Amino acid sequence: MLFVRPVFSGRGWYMFIGAIKAGLLAGVGIGLTAMPTVLAHGQAQPQTPRWISSTVFFENANACKWAGIRARVCESGYRSAYRQHVRIAPAYREQADCEADFIPGECFVSGASQLWTPWLSGFSLITHARLPPCALHAQREPRTPMASLNKSWAQQLQEVRHSPDAAAQVRFFSEPLYWERDHQGGFHLTTLREKLRNGERFANAFSKRPPVTPGSPLWTRQLARIFEPQRLVDVAIP
């Protein structure tokens, strides 16, 4: 099952011409003299790298591979999300508290701790790609609307991967997914980071740090840090 949320991101000049013949000649002379300076100045300015990103939801590593993504990236993404799930998934003393934050039937009790936690329901694969200067220059060139529409995120990513420019770089991140209720009475996949951003404070979750009160501002700041996606350093490009 695949959900895509693609996430993606001139210059004028003028010349004044006088009314009399002498002024016209002077104006043209100044324009011809200044043009190389303007062009040289534009070429000398450093180009700021531009990042493009995409987030894709997968049920498991196989679904990721079926979508055409490299097996190594899919397997690393799922393993990283599973390890993060084991480490940071909220735990509850009562089943009802767990299902209130997620959905009924999506929580299980651990035999060792007797705490309730949500099932891991998939993983989110996040791709950040830095466009090389040559790609930035190409994007500034005028293109027809149809050409822009036909150029998908996957095509842009392939261009970055195969670019000979050393500035091109692709980074992968992943995080676990869970089912939750939506505002229309249905269910959808989400991340813990997204739930926190939408106002969920996990106030009924069991705190492994007793001095920190669940639902407090300090608790929320700590959750924001540990819920950050994990970078897949073993599959970074280059």
Distance CA 79, CA 74 (A): 9
Q: Is residue 98 classed exposed, middle or buried when 0-12, 13-18 and 19+ CB atoms within 10 A define those classes?
A: buried
Contact 115, 42 (CB under 8 A): no
pLDDT category of residue 174 using cuts at 50, 70 and 90: very high
Residue tagged 């190389």 (tokens)? 36
pLDDT in tens, 71-105: 999 999 999 999 999 999 999 999 999 999 999 99
pLDDT category of residue 13 using cuts at 50, 70 and 90: very low
pLDDT in tens, 38-79: 444 444 455 666 788 899 999 999 999 999 999 999 999 999
Q: Which residue has the higher pLDDT, 152 or 175?
A: 175
Contact 115, 165 (CB under 8 A): no
Predicted local confidence at residue 123, as pLDDT = 97
Predicted local confidence at residue 47, as pLDDT = 62
Closest CA to 4 of 154, 134, 144, 120: 154
Query: What is the three-state SS of 120-174?
Result: CCEEEEEEEEEECHHHHHHHHCCCCHHHHHHCCHHHHHHHHHCCCCCCCEEEEEE
Distance CA 8, CA 159 (A): 15
Strands 122-131 and 169-181, sheet pairing: antiparallel
Contact 101, 202 (CB under 8 A): yes
Residue-averaged pLDDT of the chain: 74
Predicted local confidence at residue 80, as pLDDT = 96
CA dist 124 to 28, 52, 59, 166, 215, Å?
59, 17, 9, 28, 25
pLDDT in tens, 121-131: 999 999 988 87
Q: Which residue has the higher pLDDT, 110 or 138?
A: 110
Question: At 121, phi and psi to the nearest 5?
Answer: -110, 10
Contact 131, 53 (CB under 8 A): no
Neighbours of 47 (CB within 10 A): 13
pLDDT in tens, 130-156: 876 655 444 454 444 433 434 555 566
Q: Where are the domains of the chain?
A: 46-235
pLDDT at 37 over 50: no
pLDDT at 6 over 50: no
pLDDT category of residue 217 using cuts at 50, 70 and 90: confident
- The amino acid sitting at 73 is V
pTM of the model: 0.67
Distance CA 192, CA 194 (A): 5
pLDDT category of residue 236 using cuts at 50, 70 and 90: low
pLDDT category of residue 158 using cuts at 50, 70 and 90: low
pLDDT category of residue 31 using cuts at 50, 70 and 90: very low
Predicted local confidence at residue 220, as pLDDT = 84
CA dist 105 to 87, 100, 183, Å?
21, 11, 19
Tokens of 128: 């950040």
